[in-house]
Amino acid sequence: MKSARVLPSKFLAAMIAVLPLPGSPLYDGDEQRVIEQALTDLDIYKKAGVDSIIFENDGDLPYIQPPLDKKAIALMTKICKKARKRFNGPIGIQMLEAANIESLEIAAEAGLDYIRVEAFVFAHVGGSGVINGSAGKIFRRRKE
């Protein structure tokens, strides 16, 4: 991940709630529809003057802890690569629930700028159970 893209002191960020991905109970098998929805939302936000966007797999209810389905990771990576070609501002990603290493891998593969980490230095109970802090794993993986 490169940090060449810089935000102004006052900026507008928007989240793109990606439709259900492969492996999710709500995924309908239409990969193209998932891609088109995400990119349509991106275009709307871009026209509105958004400075930064973040993708999240909000449609993957109920959330599960990692590892996530490899096909879901591949589709989100494909979406993010397409978005990177269309949007010059900072782009981030969060894969729920606390799939922080998967987020880091997608970001590195797609040339994104940041990840949103759930449970970085603390543990909590979420919808899929106990979520442990992940700072140690993320910092070690980031060095690879």
Residue range 86-99, pLDDT digits in tens = 999 999 999 999 99
Q: What's the fold here for domain 13-118?
A: TIM Barrel (3.20.20)
Name the β-bridge partners of 17: 56
CA distance linking residue 7 with residue 91, whole number of Å = 11
Whether this prediction's pTM lies above 0.95 is answered by: no
Would the pLDDT of 144 be above 60?
Answer: yes
CA distance linking residue 111 with residue 6, whole number of Å = 15
Alpha helices in the chain, H assignment, sequence order: 31-47, 70-86, 100-110, 135-142
Q: How confident is the model at residue 4 (pLDDT cuts 50, 70, 90)?
A: low
Q: How confident is the model at residue 122 (pLDDT cuts 50, 70, 90)?
A: confident
The whole-number pLDDT of residue 9 equals 86
Amino acid identity, position 82: K
Do 128 and 89 meet the contact criterion of CB atoms below 8 Å apart?
no
Tokens at 113, concatenated = 């700028």
Residue given tokens 């871009």 in the structure block? 46
Q: Name the DSSP letter for residue 61.
A: P
Q: Please report, in angstroms and rounded to a whole number, the separation of the first and last CA atoms in the chain.
A: 12
The dihedrals phi and psi of 97, each to the nearest 5 degrees, come to: -105, 115
Of the candidates 53, 58, 117, the one whose C-alpha atom is nearest the C-alpha of residue 82 is 53
Higher-confidence position of 122 and 77: 77
* 77: number of Cβ within 10 Å: 19
Would the pLDDT of 101 be above 90?
Answer: yes
Would the pLDDT of 60 be above 90?
Answer: yes
Would the pLDDT of 129 be above 60?
Answer: yes
The whole-number pLDDT of residue 1 equals 47
